[in-house]
Amino acid sequence: MFDWLHSLYQTSALPGMNLSQLVQHGFNALTLGSLYGLIAIGYTMVYGILRLINFAHGDIFMLGAYFVFFTTVAFMPAGVACFFIAAAFYVIHGIVRGFRRRPPLPVLGLLLLFPVCGLYFTFLAPASFQLPWPLALITAIAAASFCGIVVDRIAYRPLRAAPRISALISAIGISFFIESLSVVLFTGLPRPVLQPDWLMTPMLLAEGSVRILPLSLVVPAITLVLVLGLLFIINRTKPGLAMRAISRDIETTRLMGVSVDKIIALTFALGSALAAASGIMWALRYPQIHPYMGITPGLKAFIAAVFGGIGSIHGAMIGGLILGAMEIIIIAVYPQLSGYRDAFAFTLLILILLFKPTGLMGAKLEDKI
């Protein structure tokens, strides 16, 4: 089969690249594009409902990487971890029952149980405590979803009826706040991320001429599963139906008895979970994290969302794949342009805004007279 591919490649060869390099760069492009697409979906979900760009989305991506670091390499102090768990539990309870209601006694008992567990793990448990990878991934994604809900509750929900420029300023402000708080809590030093050996042991194909990391196959597979799960939630469940209704007309949906604030909080939770998953896979692919690591991937994912059609989940994924492929292939063919890889993405944004502002799969704009 590889010989057949080689003969096909010779008919359309790229300059300065053999078939083995093309296959490797193809897997790299698929991996990078999948990560861009996952982040872009979070942007497009929030925009589809609120008509607002969540500029803190890239920071949720960064927090997901930090959470998996603290649960696999250096587990955070147990008291701090239990505090975060208690806060997450309280916020989820507030979303379901209302923040102004006093929690019932069983809930208060659970909230008091977390500090007790924190004291136990701090003073009695073994000093070296790390979570297994499956539990660490679930914990990191859940914590990032909680952070997304908190961002909505603090920065966006109080401004639902405010002018859109106010919400935009709030979005930029909460992004700077998360980055600065992360510098204070995590320090600005880059941190190494633990990479499982089975993900980083290369597979040799075509008699050793092609080396593929298992991670390059795992990332697109996980991305596909997450996107299919999201599409199932949106198209086959009642919360998904409510999301689609809110994206059409938020006031009419509210009049029909839908708890709009809860559905928006769920949207932020789902988008943040996807951002955390992409942040974790990004940290595995590029194993060094720091508080500002979400800025550039976040901006490029925003470009991918605009390119695919802001508000379209399919378009966001396609835009991410195209952007990732464009970056990898251009740098592979012209290595001397590697310093301008970010410029290609912003050039694409300018072109798409000039010639097709709605993106590849965006809805057509209608002129209202």
* Residue 3: other Cβ atoms inside 10 A: 9
Write the burial class of residue 248 (CB in 10 Å: 0-12 exposed, 13-18 middle, 19+ buried). exposed
Query: For the whole prediction, is pTM greater than 0.85?
Result: no
DSSP-derived letter for residue 15 is T
**Per-residue pLDDT at 366:** 52
User: Counting Cβ atoms within 10 Å, is residue 311 exposed (0-12), middle (13-18) or buried (19+)?
Assistant: buried
Read off the DSSP letter of residue 182: H
Q: Which pLDDT does position 1 carry in this prediction?
A: 47
> What local confidence, expressed as pLDDT, does residue 54 receive?
87
Q: Which residue has the tokens 């029952």?
A: 97
Q: What integer pLDDT is reported at residue 226 of this predicted model?
A: 92
pLDDT at position 59 is: 93
Distance (Å) of CA 165 to CA 84, 128, 264: 32, 48, 19
| C-alpha torsion angle, residues 332, 333, 336, 340 (rounded to 10) | -70
Give 204's strand partners: 211
Write down the residue that tokens 């768990």 correspond to: 85
Q: Looking at residue 37, what is its pLDDT?
A: 92
User: How far is residue 194's CA from residue 225's CA, in Å, rounded to a whole number?
Assistant: 24
pLDDT for position 278: 92
Residues of the chain with pLDDT under 70: 1-19, 72-132, 205-209, 362-369
- Give pLDDT tens digits for 229-246: 999 999 998 988 999 999
According to the model, what pLDDT value does residue 206 have? 61
